[in-house]
Amino acid sequence: MQQPDTAPIRSFAHVQALAAGDMEAVNTLIRNRLASDVVLINQISGHIISSGGKRLRPMLHLLAARCSGYRGEAHVPLAALIEFIHTSTLLHDDVVDESDLRRGRKTANAVWGNAASVLVGDFLYSRSFQMMVELDNMRVMRILADATNRIAEGEVLQLLNIGNADTSEQSYLDVIERKTAVLFSAATRLGAVLAGLPGEQEEALAKYGLDLGYAFQIADDVLDYVSDADTLGKNIGDDLAEGKPTLPVIHAIANSPPEQAASLRRAIESGGLDSLPNIIAAIRDSGAIEHARSRATHYAQSARSALSALPASPAREALALLADHSVNRSS
């Protein structure tokens, strides 16, 4: 399944090419393990799985396993179940956020309703745990069980922050660590676990994944104010409409003149997009976009640095390029 490690890794397309053989096996397994005799499960899970997306988390696991020298087959089902965990969180997120657009398509809850979306999200969670048990590796199960529990904590923390204009940068980081970074970290750590790497190298890959997750989510939150719906695949200003205090807004509130800061606070506290152009202008005027991008770059560089504990290889180059790509992407 693995492709020869020969071509230089200079772009995201090269990373995809390096992982292509394994990703094909993962995608086949995903399609097979989605099957259910309940028609609605097939419809909803197929809708979200087939709607595109980067498959970044399973790709990270596959590359981490290769970077660690793993030559078995367990990385394929592990990568697939990591994608199932992620997809289940998307189904639940869209219900909580009342979103109607994801990856350029109607969300499952917009098509089938909230109840069906939540229940199919539960199905995907439980299917991922079935696949986990089949691997018969207690260490793997513990890492993923801990990760999914922390993701749930992150969802609740974010809920508590909605409408709170006094949310601090640290509180924001606590949310994105749990919601995003812990699954990135579990994906990369598990590559080392499969290969039986020493503790220092396992921790290095875990740190790489954690810092990459920070960088990815901060960059994603910046895109909500600088991209467009067609490029981003979701509605611009969604975070603001939901009253989510992300890093650009948090920084802008703290670094804007009183009148603009008050306007930003009202936008978070009341939600809605009535004054979106003015809000975006205030965020840009405050230097919040540059600040957030600087923080994302800091974490991306930290992720890159963590890879120095691993031997040089095309897979390590690919992981390093993904750190750069996480902050330089447009969607």
What is the tens place of the pLDDT at every residue in 110-167? 888 889 899 989 999 999 999 999 999 999 999 999 999 999 999 999 999 999 999 9
Percent of the chain at pLDDT > 90 equals 69
CA neighbor of 70 nearest in space, from 20, 121, 2, 143:
2
pLDDT in tens, 167-180: 999 999 999 999 99
Q: Which residues pair with 105 in a beta bridge?
A: 102
* Single-letter code of the amino acid located at 284: R
Count other Cβ atoms within 10 Å, centred on residue 139: 11
- The Cα 305–Cα 104 span in angstroms is 34
Phi then psi dihedrals of residue 101, to 5 deg: -145, 130
Q: Which helix (H) or strand (E) holds 54?
A: none
CA neighbor of 324 nearest in space, from 302, 314, 313, 312:
302
Q: Which residues pair with 102 in a beta bridge?
A: 105
Q: Domains along the chain? A: 12-325 (1.10.600.10)
Q: What is the mean pLDDT of the chain?
A: 90
Greater confidence (286 vs 3) lies with: 286
- The Cα 36–Cα 106 span in angstroms is 23
CA neighbor of 54 nearest in space, from 34, 26, 95:
26
Q: Which helix (H) or strand (E) holds 299?
A: helix 288-306
- Does 262 score more than 60 pLDDT? yes
pTM over 0.85: yes
- The Cα 260–Cα 282 span in angstroms is 6
Crossing angle for the helix pair 12-33 and 56-67, to the nearest 10 degrees = 110
CA neighbor of 247 nearest in space, from 210, 220, 226, 218:
218
Cβ-proximal residues to 290 (8 Å cutoff; 6+ apart), any chain: none
Structure confidence at residue 16 (pLDDT): 93
Structure confidence at residue 227 (pLDDT): 72
Cβ-proximal residues to 59 (8 Å cutoff; 6+ apart), any chain: 15, 16, 19, 23, 79, 322
Structure confidence at residue 7 (pLDDT): 65
DSSP class of residue 197 equals: -
Helices and strands per DSSP (H, E), number in the chain: 17, 2
